[in-house]
Amino acid sequence: MANPKGPVLVVDFGAQYAQLIARRVREAQVYSEVVPHTANVDDLLAKDPAAILLSGGPSSVYEEGAPSIDPALFAAGVPVFGMCYGFQLMARALGGTVENTGGREFGRTELTVTGEGGVLHGGLPAHHPVWMSHNDGVTKAPEGATVTASSAGADVAGFEDVERRFAGVQYHPEVAHSPHGQEVLRRFLHDIAGIKPQWTTTSIVDEQVTKIRQQVGEGRAICGLSGGVDSAVAAALVQRAIGDRLTCVFVDHGLLRAGERAQVERDFVAATGVNLVTVDARQRFLDALNGVSDPEEKRKIIGREFIRVFEQAERDLKAQGDYRFLVQGTLYPDVVESGGGSGTSNIKSHHNVGGLPEDLAFDLVEPLRLLFKDEVRRVGLELGLPETIVHRQPFPGPGLGIRIIGEVTADRLETLRAADAIAREELTAAGLDRDIWQCPVVLLADVRSVGVQGDGRTYGHPVVLRPVSSEDAMTADWTRLPYDVLERISTRITNEVAEVNRVTLDVTSKPPGTIEWE
């Protein structure tokens, strides 16, 4: 079950790490959601929040048109915690002073605990590093608040008013560069806000099973099983809720990686005993993608064809009953990056969230919609799914179709499939599977590069290795793979995949680049 009250709300003021804040709150076993700063106080209070966290942001509180907060929030009796920009907004709304002091601080900064440190900083090292990112600073704390920390560029780097359950810090406690930040967040949530730590894997499973039963009732559901952890966990949750009234449909759209169909038909069925129907739709998808190079159009076509295949499967299953519900493994990052959840722009039109046909004949069941990937993996283990599924590298719904830059053809798919299999084999052999989030292999199908193979010039395709490390895919960094592993991958691909004569490495973080190229 969630908290006795509603969720902890993270108000997003344009922070790069708003979703990370929500994850950190959940790591303290408290359920949280991200909401846009455009939501008014009545909207926030309507959710009956257990507490409200004000995120950082790129603006100055004095800028014309800068995001603001209604002072009425602080009269509502709800615990509030501010950080960075949110800290300054909070201080100003409560009668404190925020000024441009000229004491800019960016990156690693030494924090000094003031006095006993209060609830937030008491017992922590008198001097410890935090991650700062500010021009303005709080120079005078609100009346009744106790200053708990300072820094060279911020006289007031932390304050708290325990009686009114208000607190905040100038730095970013949510990032790993603030080593005591998680403890500070935990102290606010548990000790100042008084929220009990009840958000656990068991509670997630119990709550979602109850919700699924309420939504589906005595109906039947169909799930598009991709072989990935998201759809597998979603299916396992729904099966626990409604049993054999769930039928999983595995669509072999020809955009899968080597061996994935066999793994789904073997491992997932063995672990769950679920009803599984396999549909061979390889030619259908190739025909639909014929001549299409635009990535957004490819995504929409693949999403549309998925739904049409499901609808045909549903018609074929009519003899067993009315399958009115469609199960999808939509995750919270999918929702956020598709423009939902926090008022953000549309980064990707993932077929789990965007691009569904307007005449969709199903009601969607999305039991993972508010979960991050690490939470999904823990739920999968709780449900008894094998490690081979739970810790499988994330794989996009549109499959290899969006890892081919250019038109998707049968030959190009076979080329990419072979290169991808080699990369995965070598990463596994080197024991690196758990050290990386995923390693997309991208085929630059519309590019030819000059090579020398067999004493002759070749004009083959380059492929790109994109190894990344991440916790939830909201942010990511490229993984520093050992040179000998990269060498083996490159040598094998150029030796064994005739159409490829060049292997390159993508060393771009997210942001600015996304994990997938398309």
SS3 at position 194: coil
Active site residue 127: no
Length of the chain: 518
Judge whether 128 and 120 are in contact, CB under 8 Å: no
Judge whether 85 and 120 are in contact, CB under 8 Å: no
Give the Cα separation of 88 and 59 in Å (integer): 11
The single-letter DSSP state of residue 72 is: G
Of 33, 105, 160, 174, which is the active-site residue?
174
Of 84, 223, 248, 439, which is the active-site residue?
84
Residue whose C-alpha is closest to residue 248's, from 227, 219, 229, 218: 227
In angstroms, the Cα distances linking 165 to 188, 195, 246 are 8, 12, 46
Q: Which residues contact 304 (CB under 8 A, 6 or more apart)?
A: 288, 355, 357
Q: Give the number of other CB atoms < 10 A from CB of residue 296.
A: 14
Give the Cα separation of 503 and 484 in Å (integer): 14
Judge whether 380 and 233 are in contact, CB under 8 Å: yes
Give me the residue label for tokens 């081919």. 404
Give the Cα separation of 48 and 43 in Å (integer): 9
In angstroms, the Cα distances linking 107 to 130, 133, 178, 210 are 8, 6, 10, 44
Residue whose C-alpha is closest to residue 407's, from 288, 294, 516: 294
Tokens of 305: 């064809």
Active site residue 174: yes
Of 37, 121, 134, 172, which is the active-site residue?
172
Could you please report the per-residue DSSP string of 128-180?
EEEEEEESSEEEEPPTTPEEEEEETTEEEEEEEETTTTEEEESS-TTSTTSTT
Residue whose C-alpha is closest to residue 344's, from 10, 6, 2: 10
Q: What angle do CA 307, 308, 309 make, to 5 degrees?
A: 90
The single-letter DSSP state of residue 501 is: E
Residue whose C-alpha is closest to residue 329's, from 223, 251, 199, 242: 223
Give the Cα separation of 241 and 217 in Å (integer): 10
Active site residue 84: yes
Please state whether beta strands 220-225 and 154-161 pair in parallel, antiparallel, or not at all (unpaired): unpaired
The single-letter DSSP state of residue 229 is: H
Catalytic residues, by residue number, are 84, 172, 174
